[in-house]
Amino acid sequence: MPDTTTPSTKTTDTTDPGGRRPEAACDPTGRKLPPTSGADAIVLRWTKIGAGLAILPVPLLDFATTSGCALKMLHSLARYYGVEFRGHIGKSAVTALLGGASAPLATAAAYSLVRVIPIVGVPLAAAASPALAGSLIYAIGRVFTAHFGSGGTFLDFDPEKFRDYFQAQVEAGRTVLKDLKGKAPQ
């Protein structure tokens, strides 16, 4: 069973046993870090946007919208935590993180390509793609919230430390999206 606790990315662990950082935590340089509630709101916002855009019935467009939403979310998280953001470094960090996530990426490719099947392709993909896109964006956001929240930057991001956590957060993202769907007005 994979470890679902938030991994520490620095030698000084600023998380409590539940994986949350105390509100007044500082990074190793002494810089006071903001509370995680704002980062959680950023992740949830972009998770919803990414899931909504994945409904578009154009093959491979969902890859572009998911990637774009993930990068915009990382930009927002970086700004929130006071971390310098450069688009090419953000892309590299996401690519490195997703490099070990072959199952979700293969599933995403299959859902995207199923759209080309006449008559049934678009409805099938429209039913499944939003959940997958949203859960991937959610997982990316949770990983970088944990990393930035412990004082990390894009330059010291080590995707290997987050592999199991990322996989667990993909599953958690699916649950979050199901909960959101249950709360949506009918």
In a domain, 22, yes or no: no
Query: What pLDDT shows up at residue 82?
Result: 93
In this structure, is residue 115 part of a structural domain?
Answer: yes
In the prediction, which pLDDT does 15 show? 42
Tens-binned pLDDT, residue by residue, of the chain (186 aa) = 444 445 544 333 334 333 444 443 444 455 555 677 899 999 999 999 999 888 776 666 777 888 899 999 999 999 999 999 988 888 888 888 887 655 555 555 554 555 555 555 555 555 567 788 899 999 999 999 999 998 999 999 999 899 889 989 988 998 998 887 767 555
Model pLDDT, residue 71: 94
24 in any annotated domain: no
**Considering the domain boundaries, does residue 134 fall inside one?**
yes
Q: Give the chain's domain count.
A: 1
Output the pLDDT for position 48. Answer: 93
pTM, rounded to two decimals: 0.72
Could you tell me if residue 43 is inside a domain? no
The answer to the question of residue 167 being in a domain is yes
In a domain, 146, yes or no: yes
The predicted pLDDT at position 33 comes to: 57
Integer CA distances (angstroms), 71 to 78, 90, 100, 137, 141, in order: 10, 7, 18, 9, 10
- Domain range for 176 is 55-181
Sign for the CA dihedral angle at 183, 148, 132, 45 comes to: positive
Find how far residue 76's CA is from the centre of its chain: 12
Report the pLDDT value the prediction gives residue 44, as an integer from 0 to 100. Answer: 95
Q: Is residue 28 part of a domain?
A: no
